[in-house]
Amino acid sequence: MTNIIETINDPKLLGTSFEGDSWETWRAILSGAFALPMTEEQTEIFRRLSGGREPPEKRVSELWIIAGRRSAKTKVAAAIQLYLGTIGAELDGFLSKLSPGERGVVALMAVDRQQAKVAAGYARGMIEESPIFSGMVERHSADSVDLSNRVSLEVHTSSYRAIRGRTLIAALFDEAAFWRSELTANPDREIYRAAVPALATTGGMLIGISSPYAKRGLLYDKYRKHYGKDGDVLVIQGGTLDFNPLIKQHVIDDHMEDDPEAAQAEWLGQFRNDVEAFVKREVVEQSTRAAPLEIPYNSKHTYFAFTDPSGGGGDEFTLAIGHLEGEQVVADVVRGRRGVPATIAAEYAELLKAYGLREVTGDKYAGSWPSDEFRRHGINYKSAEKPKSELYLDSLAALNSGRVELPPDDRLANQFVCLERRTSRAGKDTIDHMPGGNDDRANAIAGLIAQARKPGHYTVRRKSKGF
């Protein structure tokens, strides 16, 4: 029975996908993770990229690989998935732990739908090129392959629901540092918590392969706790050239000159030092009322509103309406809609009128169409005086001091928690969502807080010390 190194080296199994010396680092890492014999050169590579730890004496339960861009991470993940679902499933005794009629799953979790297609494409290509593996296919779809050995190879986007309750032979996390969800601020940890019990029956492996990002999240936690330390969890860290020596050095040098902090993460495999969380989850949770989601209109209040228009696509067209109670900004309503912008503008105009409003402030970069649409429905649209990054910075003191009441909206809370503070080389701070994320509802709240600070709003019931 061939091991994983013999499998990727055998053209009858994985074709020519891993031919050549440029794959030597990957061979060294996989040899270490699966406790296989290594050459002196491979041992030196392993120790250098594992923080100086000794090679494991038995296969590890978890393997985490932190690698720069263009390191063939997804291709390698697909190859590991295929091996663990076929030869590895039998060699490690995973199949014997399945109950009669039970099907084991090797799940590869991708950052988004497009990356899932890429991973599935790699696996499908390797199967088609192999006369042995192709003969094991019973049926296949766009995101799964059922094999004749009672194992299914599945590719999913990053959601814990995809693996909860399944019997996993192995789980692979592709680009876990960049997983995003509108339903939770920590999708990486949620999926990890779902994967661990799903692997309990078979004792299968959990493998994460990702470029690094900020110093937080599951990938960073694994690095902080296990890098350079002996044990059942192996953490590897290296730059692009460690994994793919065919990349030209000048490509990396150009990026280093343009944006050193970003390039260190993308090409050198180092976690970023210039990205921090904008606001703590505890602050957001303490600012959130238990109920209701929306507070009805009350004639004793004077209301104000902020909107973040969207021209369509993946962004939400959002609106926040609030009032002041003493020094506290109460967000009565926060709504987010996707669809035809003109239709949403008409809906929001009626909502504004229901709260006695004939004016709304909105994103200054949205162009003229929001003003035109709201005017058609009797609402005056005023452009915000500041861009959203400055609105966020201005709102932080109010949030930290408990002078904001937020509705119990999970998407809103997660957007706030996932906001990032980035410091440029010139020392200027900017606040924005994470790559691939959204902040439309949070932006509407930040704008609402700014409206509360304007003269004429902050005059409710008792003298204020201001924000």
Radius of gyration of the chain, Cα coordinates, nearest whole angstrom = 26
CATH assignment, 281-452: 3.30.420.240
Answer whether 79's CB lies under 8 Å from 126's CB: yes
Do the two domains 4-273 and 281-452 of this chain adopt the same fold?
no
Q: What residue type is 184 in one-letter code?
A: T
What is the pTM assigned to this prediction?
A: 0.78
Q: How confident is the model at residue 461 (pLDDT cuts 50, 70, 90)?
A: very low
Per-residue model confidence (pLDDT) at position 467: 36
Outline where 270-311 has alpha helix (H).
281-287
What is the per-residue pLDDT for 276?
Answer: 84
Question: Alpha-carbon distance 49 to 278, whole Å?
Answer: 32
Q: Give the residue from 141, 134, 135, 97 showing the smallest Cα distance to 117.
A: 141
Residue 459 has pLDDT above 50, yes or no: no
Q: Note the CATH number of domain 4-273.
A: 3.40.50.300
Measured between alpha carbons, how far is 345 from 278 in angstroms, rounded to an integer?
30
Q: CB atoms < 10 A from the CB of 326, how many?
A: 12
pLDDT for residue 425: 66
Question: What does the angle CA 387 – CA 214 – CA 246 come to, to the nearest 5 degrees?
Answer: 110
Q: Which of 70, 396, 107 is nearest to 248 (CA)?
A: 70
- The 3-state DSSP class for residue 464 equals coil
Name the nearest CA neighbour of 277 among 65, 445, 442: 442
Instruction: Say if residue 454's pLDDT is above 70.
Output: no
In the chain, where the domains are located: 4-273, 281-452
- 259-274: per-residue pLDDT in tens? 888 898 999 999 988 8
- 3-class SS at 317? strand
First to last CA, the chain: 70
CA dihedral of residues 12, 15, 19, 24 (deg, nearest 10):
-80
The 8-class DSSP code of residue 315 comes to S
Q: Which of 52-66, 151-165, 198-212 has the least mean pLDDT?
A: 151-165
- Return the exposure string of 108-142: e unless at least 16 CB atoms fall within 10 Å of the residue's CB, then b: bbbbeeebbeebbebbbebbebbeebeebeeebee
